[in-house]
Amino acid sequence: MKPERIISLIVLLLVLVPGCAFIGTRAPAPRMISEQERSFAGALQHLRSGNGQKARDLLERVCEAPVVNGVTDEALFRLAILLLGDDGSKAAGRAQLLLERLRNEFPQSIWNHQATPLASYLAGVKLLRDRQRELKTLQELNLSLSRDNRELRQNLERLKQLDIELEQKIKR
């Protein structure tokens, strides 16, 4: 064979062989990012920048949207944590509901495992608040009964005094 033919054959092989490697393979299709994932990423960005209210709004949107594994469960957990920063038992109650939803809808999630002790703590806090409310009610009732008791004692003393005066008038 002539050297020109060998070189032509080598060039032809170099051109054709890499083409065979790509036949039948396709570039992976770009993965569609859901609206929940975009909202969640935005919420994380707002958390990093210290804007809790905007993060909370985005997390609310993620939690209300259709479930996306790996996104909704973490959003539920993070939203519950953010709600605990608010004062009042309503926020704690809402956080407890979110953690319960996390437990029910995502039993195998790592966020559920992390939420379990927090949910127990919140249940204890709720019980303590309920008992404090009950104690306050009982103290108010006790104070009211003490006033009524004092009034009754005073009325009884007046009646005794009137009875004594009446007997003295009868004796005269």
Domains of the chain, each with CATH number or no CATH: 35-128 (1.25.40.10)
So what's the pLDDT on residue 36? 87
Per-residue pLDDT of the chain (172 residues; tens, 9 = 90+): 677 777 776 766 666 666 555 555 565 555 667 888 999 999 999 999 999 899 999 999 999 988 888 899 999 999 999 998 877 778 888 999 999 999 999 999 999 999 999 999 999 988 999 999 999 999 999 999 999 999 999 999 999 999 999 888 888 7
103 Cβ partners below 8 Å, 6+ apart? 112, 115, 116, 119
119, 100 Cβ separation under 8 angstroms: yes
Kindly report whether the global pTM for this prediction surpasses the value 0.85. no
Cα angle 168, 171, 172 (rounded to 5 degrees) comes to: 90
Distance from C-alpha of 44 to C-alpha of 59, rounded to nearest angstrom = 9
So what's the pLDDT on residue 171? 85
